[in-house]
Amino acid sequence: MIGLTLLPILLSGLAVLASPTTQITSSPVTLPFARRMNVTGAHDILRMDQARAKSLRSKSHDAKSVSGGTERDVLRSAVGAAFGVPSTSQGVDYVVQVQVGTPPKTYNMLVDTGSSNTWICCEMDYFPSPTSFDTGNSVYVEYGSGVMLGEQYLDVVHIAPGLSITNQSIGVALIAIGFDDVDGLLGIGPQVLTYGNLFPNATEFVPTVVDNLYDQGIIPKPFIGISFQPNNATQNQNMTITNGELSFGDVDASKYEGDVNYVPITKTLPAGYYVGINQTVTYGSDKTMVLNNTAGITDTGTTLLLLATDALATYQQLTGAVLDENVGLLKITPDQFSNLQSLFFTIGSETYEFTPNAQIWPRALNSAVGGDDSSIYLIVSDIGTPTGEGMDFINGMVWLERFYTVYDTLGSRFGVAKTAGTYATTN
């Protein structure tokens, strides 16, 4: 069992013992994952999404400075901050099973494109083995709904049977607040998001799971494909269902229709630190402008579709929706739903339709967000800031469930394609 010290001594001159790397000849390698509904957290779904958006916007990408104090001072401050973070889990999240160590131990881990550190909790469940190496670094990562503080190890991570990454950085949490009923987090965002998260090596970038899969020759391309299916009425009543797939190494052509449209990651900051793109959003057949071409992100850690405050006001006026103060979501009448028109997202040279059905919260889950069964709630909400802030939208899980998306880490580009679920009427 690892020690509880927050200041492990850096071990030098030791070679990491690792099992042989597996070369994968077929691609992509797929990993199923499940949607979970946190019944307690879902009542505050908008507040949690806005808190995450605020955290993503304000995240510092400079190394945390230890000037003016010792590492102990910095970590003491981090611990204080950790205990000051509200413990509220995400309302809806996606979980994969990943194995760590030798012999492998299975962990249920959140999938997050908005962060890049991979970690497990808590330290009592992790026993160093012949493939483990304590780097001497501590790890501290803040999230919109919580915080993680722990120690950095290098170890074998098993993504799928026969698919093992050696010397993968993992955080072993001593403190993990706001992550109920999960065993850790699989960070698959850009590597830049790891900068400044280690102590004392605050200027060190940490290779992500995808980086190492590619660098170790396990996958032919540094691609992550994300596929979801909107849930049918029966599935919507279940709190946990397997309806998604994470693929590594290439796109999974069986999960989309037509071609994948690739666009570069936006240069606008802070969106460009994440899986950020530029897009235009219009409403209806007459293409009324809702959000002019601007930067934002796609994010598996956000549940709703968040638009800049002024864009949301335009959308609300067009739909006639009113805010349900108890739920926190916009609500429309059955007649208004009958007249609801599609939103259109122009990304690069292609336009993608987001149907009226895609714009409503699954009615079978109304009670999970504190609503009544007969009401119709919209999943388009306020990001909390006006346009021009460098992150004017977040295409969260409700948007990602309607499309197939790809993140090319080496090419720094994002891909999107239509799926069989794009025009589904399951909500």
**Structure confidence by residue, pLDDT tens digits, 240-257:** 567 788 899 999 999 999
pLDDT of 182: 87
Side by side, the strands of the sheet bearing 288-298 are 350-354, 343-347, 276-283, 288-298, 393-395, 305-307, 380-382
**Structure confidence by residue, pLDDT tens digits, 123-172:** 557 888 899 999 999 999 988 778 999 999 999 999 887 689 999 999 99
Domain limit, last residue, from 215, 230, 246: 215
| pLDDT > 90 in the chain, percent | 62
Half-sphere exposure of 24 (CA within 13 A, CB side): 25
**Structure confidence by residue, pLDDT tens digits, 357-385:** 999 999 988 888 889 999 999 999 999 99
CB 380 within 8 A of CB 359: yes
* pLDDT for residue 66 is more than 80: no
Question: Is residue 241 assigned to a domain?
Answer: no
Identify the CA nearest to 365 among candidates 68, 92, 123, 49. Answer: 92
Domain match, 178 and 307 both: no
**pLDDT bucket at 75, cuts 50 / 70 / 90:** very low
d(CA 401, CA 293): 22
Tokens (6 digits) for 365: 């889950």
Residues 110-125 as b/e (b if ≥16 CB within 10 A, e otherwise) read: bbbbbbbbbbbbebee
Question: Is residue 245 assigned to a domain?
Answer: no
Residue 87 backbone zone (phi > 0: left; psi -120 to 50: alpha; other: beta): beta
> Looking at the 3D structure of the chain, how many domains does it have?
2
Residue 377 backbone zone (phi > 0: left; psi -120 to 50: alpha; other: beta): beta
Domain match, 142 and 87 both: yes
Amino acid at 238: N
Residues 333-368 as b/e (b if ≥16 CB within 10 A, e otherwise) read: eeeebeebbbbbbebbeeebebbbbbbbbbbbbbeb
Half-sphere exposure of 138 (CA within 13 A, CB side): 23
Identify the CA nearest to 202 among candidates 149, 154, 251, 138. Answer: 138
Tokens (6 digits) for 15: 């070679």
**Structure confidence by residue, pLDDT tens digits, 270-291:** 999 999 999 999 999 999 999 9
411: domain CATH number?
Answer: 2.40.70.10
**Structure confidence by residue, pLDDT tens digits, 16-42:** 334 444 555 467 888 777 766 654 444
Q: Are strands 257-264 and 413-418 parallel, antiparallel or unpaired?
A: antiparallel
Which residues constitute the domain of residue 306?
Answer: 256-418
Domain match, 266 and 178 both: no
Whole-model pTM: value is 0.85
Question: Would you give the distance in Å from CA 419 to the centre of its chain?
Answer: 20
For the annotated catalytic residues, the residue numbers are: 112, 299
Domain match, 68 and 195 both: yes
Domain match, 313 and 171 both: no
Strands (E), 366-412: 376-377, 380-382, 393-395, 403-408
Domain match, 196 and 283 both: no
Question: Is residue 292 assigned to a domain?
Answer: yes
Domain match, 64 and 182 both: yes
d(CA 249, CA 27): 6
Question: Is residue 277 assigned to a domain?
Answer: yes
